[in-house]
């Protein structure tokens, strides 16, 4: 039977939750990812599924201050998806937060759509804070935002950026790290998706970035290592960042999240060939079955 795709119109509130409450949200996001990538016939399945748990807590656990009815709200915290190729997880998250209708998820990567294959600021999609996709640049932009908030405007906002682990092979990333520590950006939280997979192999085989924690520590970060699929650990890490910010610790925070590429879909898990491939019809059926 042909696969018929529908998106529910369910949205979720942003509020403090118990760890077990996030699995329903993450499941909805993972299902959105499979459906929209199947319809688009292109896109990145692996990292998007792998970071869905982190997005669930970040956007629906009361971690970030934002208002989907007023996306430009002056006091909002900002999130920059430096690993821009992971945008299907961000698009689903923003739709489920109420920034725009879940109907728009049908339009991923379509001509003229606001949901392009990498986030475009010029697309004016509510919730997108910067164009990204050229690896290494988003986190540098995010550090600039944190500098302007802390040093110029002297406000209370927080800035979050998520990079991949292959992404940190880009040299510019380390200039951003150096600047974040130099300017004591305790309003800045760097989330690293450490799935040890990149486009054409294991990160450790292509260009090892290890030991990661020691590198970030040496650069002057408060480093928190977590299992990126354990909701309790994700919540605690963001709480630590919040207390670093409130107590003005004088250091940026790095959350190193060990994740599994393709998490939740049996045949995609921990396999880098799913870095940049969408499921075909048969694969989408199995994936949606796995994600029941
Ligand atoms: C500057 C730059 N070089 C190359 C690419 C192409 N590219 C997109 S994603 C990617 C691999 C990134 O690996 P990782 O950050 O580990 O992401 P994951 O495989 O976990 O999704 C590459 C090489 C790019 N987008 N930008």
Tokens of 49: 């599924």
Whether residue 165 has its Cβ less than 6 Å from ligand 1: yes
Mean pLDDT value across residues 52-74: 98
Distance from residue 136's CA to the centre of ligand 1 (Å): 9
Ranges of each domain in the chain: 28-290
Per-residue pLDDT tens over the stretch 183-228: 999 999 999 999 999 999 999 999 999 999 999 999 999 999 999 9
What span, in angstroms and rounded, lies between the C-alpha atoms of 213 and 111? 41
Per-residue pLDDT tens over the stretch 124-164: 999 999 999 999 999 999 999 999 999 999 999 999 999 99
Whether residue 263 has its Cβ less than 6 Å from ligand 1: no
Residue of the CA atom closest to atom 16 of ligand 1? 166
Whether residue 135 has its Cβ less than 6 Å from ligand 1: yes
In percent, the amount of the chain with pLDDT more than 90 equals 99
What are the backbone angles phi and psi of residue 161, rounded to the nearest 5°? -140, 145
Res. 61: pLDDT tops 90: yes
In Å, how far from its chain's centre is CA 102? 18
Whether residue 206 has its Cβ less than 6 Å from ligand 1: no
Q: What pLDDT does 148 receive?
A: 98
Sequence-ordered list of residues with C-beta below 8 angstroms from that of 128, at least 6 positions apart, any chain: 90, 94, 119, 120, 121
Summary mean pLDDT of the chain: 98
Tell me the pLDDT band of 120, cut-offs 50, 70 and 90.
very high
First to last CA, the chain: 18
Q: What pLDDT does 1 receive?
A: 84
Our mutation pick for probing the ligand 1 site, out of 88, 119, 198, counting the most ligand atoms within 8 A of Cβ, is: 198
Distance from residue 82's CA to the centre of ligand 1 (Å): 10
Whether residue 275 has its Cβ less than 6 Å from ligand 1: yes
Whether residue 85 has its Cβ less than 6 Å from ligand 1: yes
Q: What pLDDT does 226 receive?
A: 99
Give me the CATH code for the 28-290 domain, please.
3.40.50.970
Distance from residue 199's CA to the centre of ligand 1 (Å): 6
Whether residue 199 has its Cβ less than 6 Å from ligand 1: yes
Whether residue 133 has its Cβ less than 6 Å from ligand 1: yes
Measured CA distances, 151 to 88, 240, 275 (Å)? 33, 22, 38
Dump strand ranges (E) for 65-184. 78-81, 159-164
Mean pLDDT value across residues 45-54: 99
Mean pLDDT value across residues 25-34: 98
Per-residue pLDDT tens over the stretch 267-288: 999 999 999 999 999 999 999 9
Per-residue pLDDT tens over the stretch 227-258: 999 999 999 999 999 999 999 999 999 999 99
Whether residue 83 has its Cβ less than 6 Å from ligand 1: yes
Distance from residue 197's CA to the centre of ligand 1 (Å): 10
For 111-122, b/e burial (b = at least 16 CB within 10 A) is eebbbbbbbbee
């Amino acid at each position: 039977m042909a696969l018929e795709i529908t998106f529910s119109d369910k949205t979720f509130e942003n509020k403090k939750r118990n760890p077990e409450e996030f699995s329903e949200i993450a499941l909805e996001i993972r299902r959105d990812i499979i459906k929209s990538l199947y319809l688009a016939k292109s896109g990145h399945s692996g990292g998007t599924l792998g970071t869905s748990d982190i997005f669930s807590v970040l956007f629906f656990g009361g971690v970030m201050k934002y208002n989907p009815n007023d996306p430009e709200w002056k006091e909002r915290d900002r999130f920059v998806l430096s690993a821009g190729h992971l945008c299907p997880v961000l698009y689903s998250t923003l739709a489920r937060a109420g920034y725009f209708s879940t109907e728009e998820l049908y339009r991923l990567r379509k001509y003229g759509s606001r949901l392009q294959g990498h986030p475009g600021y010029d697309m004016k999609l509510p919730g997108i804070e910067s164009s990204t996709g050229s690896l290494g640049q988003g986190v540098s932009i995010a550090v600039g935002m944190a500098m302007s908030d802390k040093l110029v405007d002297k406000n209370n906002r927080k800035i979050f950026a998520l990079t991949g682990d292959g992404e940190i092979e880009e040299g510019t990333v380390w200039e951003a790290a150096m600047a974040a520590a130099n300017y004591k950006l305790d309003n800045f939280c760097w989330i690293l998706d450490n799935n040890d997979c990149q486009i054409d192999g294991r990160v450790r085989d292509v260009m090892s970035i290890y030991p990661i924690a020691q590198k970030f520590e040496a650069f002057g970060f408060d480093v928190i290592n977590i299992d990126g699929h354990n909701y309790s650990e994700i919540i605690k890490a963001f709480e630590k960042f919040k207390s670093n910010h409130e107590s003005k610790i004088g250091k940026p925070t790095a959350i190193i999240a060990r994740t599994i590429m393709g998490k939740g879909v049996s045949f995609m898990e921990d396999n880098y060939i799913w870095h940049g491939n969408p499921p075909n019809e048969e694969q989408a059926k199995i994936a949606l079955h796995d994600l029941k």
